[in-house]
């Protein structure tokens, strides 16, 4: 029960199928990318990120 409170549904499903499988939430490393943009470029990038979020099913907005 303790694991069910802390783990994701996806992680629990994987654990049930194969207890030795790696946690799917930990299989990718993320990094931060910083690119300088001009004031003119920023709206285009914001629009592209918004469209990508819709395509990927983003549900929350970060900072």
What are 42-56's pLDDT values in tens digits? Answer: 999 999 999 998 888
Walk along the chain (63 residues) and give the pLDDT tens digit of each residue.
Answer: 556 676 777 777 777 777 666 665 666 677 888 989 999 999 999 999 999 988 888 665 554
- Residue 57 is predicted with a pLDDT of 81
Q: CA angle at residue 47 from 46 to 53, to 5 degrees? A: 90
């Amino acid at each position: 029960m303790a694991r069910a409170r802390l783990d994701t549904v996806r992680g629990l499903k994987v654990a049930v199928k194969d207890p030795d499988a790696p946690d799917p939430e930990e299989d990718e490393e993320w990094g931060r990318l910083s690119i300088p943009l001009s004031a003119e470029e920023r709206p285009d990038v914001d629009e592209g990120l918004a469209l990508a979020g819709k395509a990927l099913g983003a549900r929350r907005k970060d900072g």
